[in-house]
């Protein structure tokens, strides 16, 4: 309940109430780059939207990757980066009532996997890692 209220506040604050909902937070072929030639956008507005979305990632893990990718461009945001942020918000609008629910059970089994990649980050050439946990 609280998160849907927070999402609605985000939509109102950034004047995005009239946007059409999207099924996914990011297009599969989307490539963000720091050397983008599109115009600059206000970094305070961009950063404010990133802050809102980072808070929501605690309960909306489907947006975690996309939001963190956009957060890399906080200092010098471009129109293409802002377009991706707006798509994430459109996704949240369309899936505002979704949440994770774990029912009490003694039969749950917890498993996890981790991986690291030393070369895939084309923007900053940093080590990227990921992990996945399975419950059930």
Extract the residue ranges of the chain whose pLDDT is less than 70: 1-3, 99-100, 118-126, 128
pLDDT score for 50: 92
Domain count, the chain: 1
If one counts every other C-beta atom within 10 angstroms of the C-beta of residue 64, the result is: 15
**Residue 89 in tokens:** 């918000």
pLDDT score for 34: 76
Which region holds residue 15: left if phi is over 0, alpha if psi is between -120 and 50, else beta? left
| Inside any domain, residue 19 | yes
- Apex CA 26: angle with CA 136 and CA 7, to 5°? 75
Q: Phi and psi dihedrals of 53, rounded to 5?
A: -70, -35
pLDDT score for 1: 46
* pTM, entire model: 0.70
| Inside any domain, residue 40 | yes
Q: Domain residues for 82?
A: 2-101
CA distance 77 to 79: 7
3-class secondary-structure state, position 29: coil
| Inside any domain, residue 89 | yes
| Inside any domain, residue 125 | no
Residues, the chain: 136
| Inside any domain, residue 114 | no
pLDDT score for 23: 86
Q: Phi and psi dihedrals of 59, rounded to 5?
A: -110, -10
């Amino acid at each position: 309940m609280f998160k849907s209220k927070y999402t609605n506040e985000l939509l109102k604050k950034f004047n995005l109430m009239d946007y059409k909902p999207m099924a996914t937070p990011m297009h599969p072929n989307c490539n963000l780059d720091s050397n983008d030639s599109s115009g600059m956008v206000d970094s305070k507005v961009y950063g404010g939207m990133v802050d809102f979305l980072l808070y929501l990632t605690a309960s909306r893990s489907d947006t975690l990757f996309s939001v963190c990718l956009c957060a890399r461009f906080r200092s010098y945001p471009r129109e293409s980066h802002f377009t991706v942020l707006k798509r994430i918000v459109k996704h949240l609008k369309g899936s505002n009532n979704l949440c994770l629910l774990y029912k009490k059970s003694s039969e749950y089994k917890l498993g996890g996997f981790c991986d690291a990649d030393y070369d895939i980050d084309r923007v900053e050439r940093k080590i990227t890692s990921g992990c996945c946990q399975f419950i059930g």
